């Protein structure tokens, strides 16, 4: 009888521990998802970006009733390595068409607007004329990236600084890209409430292509490993939240099973129904 009680106690204790770990994993996964907008603290193991500044984040809005507006996008980026890195980057805008199935392509004039924490729930289309440039960091150097994008069309937009990773696009619409920093803006004031037509304004000219290619003046050189993101929902490259949620759910299930097994074992030993324990 004593042995049965000990085993049931151990089972219930193990179940509680597994459930607690599972709940923690789910909470961490949810946090990682909600923190998708901002700066990537570990871009390919090479760079760390602070949250971008200089622009009005949605739901605050730019007004194009008097003509195009220029959006500043400033990011402080630190070289995580002790060697010189020269990296090709892109700066682009994606027009957000829907959010959780609702058409928001006009920026929702007259409504409070959306505070985005990441691309989850959105469908997007890339704007033309992505700006491409190459920036060089010496070892441990901090560089301020000051970029601009001009718009004369209404809507919500996701702005990204990113680099392509090996693989490119495939027929399924997937693309490989690692994102350094992201932000969300809102543009209103179009006549007639329409979205108008975009007018991007490139400010830097070098044109990198292909894979992320860090070039070091000393060895070793970090090796990029990248991740695949859907073309309709570009993010910051901070992956792993889906895996964390899956592991958390699995551990919760195991924990519940162990607790139930402990109750049944104790009930069998005591001659009582489990509901009495």
Q: Please choose, from the candidates 216, 39, 53, 224, the residue with its C-alpha nearest in 3D space to the C-alpha of residue 137.
A: 216
Instruction: Quickly count: other Cβ atoms within 10 Å of residue 213's Cβ.
Output: 17
CA distances from residue 224 to 34, 124, 212, 242 in whole angstroms, order as listed: 25, 26, 7, 21
pTM: 0.61
Residues of the chain short of pLDDT 50, as ranges, are 1-11, 14-15, 17-36, 168-174, 196-211, 216-245, 277
Render the burial of 113-152: b for 16+ CB within 10 Å, e for the rest. Answer: bbebebbeebbbeebeeebbbebebeeeeeeebebbbbbb
Task: Say if residues 71 and 159 touch (Cβ distance below 8 Å).
Answer: yes
Q: Could you tell me the sign of the dihedral formed by the alpha carbons of 222, 223, 225, 226, in that order?
A: positive
Task: Determine the topology of domain 38-237 in CATH.
Answer: Immunoglobulin-like (2.60.40)
DSSP symbol at 201: -
| Residue owning tokens 């301020």 | 144
User: What pLDDT does 188 receive?
Assistant: 97
Question: According to the model, what pLDDT value does residue 264 have?
Answer: 59
Q: Does residue 56 sit in helix, strand or coil? A: coil
Give the number of other CB atoms < 10 A from CB of residue 257: 14
**pLDDT score for 166:** 61
Residue with tokens 């000219």: 205
């Amino acid at each position: 009888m004593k042995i049965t009680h000990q085993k049931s106690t151990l089972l219930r204790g193990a179940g509680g521990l597994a459930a607690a770990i599972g709940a923690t994993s789910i909470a961490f996964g949810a946090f990682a998802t909600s923190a998708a907008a901002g700066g990537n603290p570990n871009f390919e193991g090479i760079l760390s970006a602070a949250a971008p500044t200089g622009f009005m984040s949605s739901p605050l809005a730019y007004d194009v009733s008097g003509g195009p507006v220029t959006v500043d996008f400033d990011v402080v980026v630190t070289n995580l390595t002790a060697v010189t890195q020269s990296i090709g980057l892109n700066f682009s805008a994606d027009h957000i068409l829907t959010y959780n199935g609702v058409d928001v392509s006009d920026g929702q004039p007259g409504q409070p607007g959306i505070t985005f924490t990441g691309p989850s729930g959105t469908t997007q289309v890339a704007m033309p004329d992505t700006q491409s440039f190459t920036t060089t960091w010496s070892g441990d150097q901090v560089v301020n990236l000051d970029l601009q994008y001009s718009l004369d069309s209404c809507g919500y937009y996701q702005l990204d600084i990113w680099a392509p990773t090996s693989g490119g696009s495939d027929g399924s619409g997937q693309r490989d890209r690692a994102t350094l920093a992201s932000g969300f803006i809102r543009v209103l004031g179009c006549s007639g409430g329409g979205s108008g037509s975009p007018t991007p304004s490139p400010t830097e000219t070098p044109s990198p292509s292909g894979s992320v290619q860090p070039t070091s003046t000393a060895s070793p050189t970090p090796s990029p490993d990248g991740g695949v993101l859907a073309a309709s929902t570009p993010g910051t490259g901070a992956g792993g939240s889906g895996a964390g949620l899956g592991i958390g759910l699995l551990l919760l299930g195991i924990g519940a099973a162990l607790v139930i097994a402990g109750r049944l074992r104790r009930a069998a030993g005591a001659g009582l129904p489990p509901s009495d324990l």
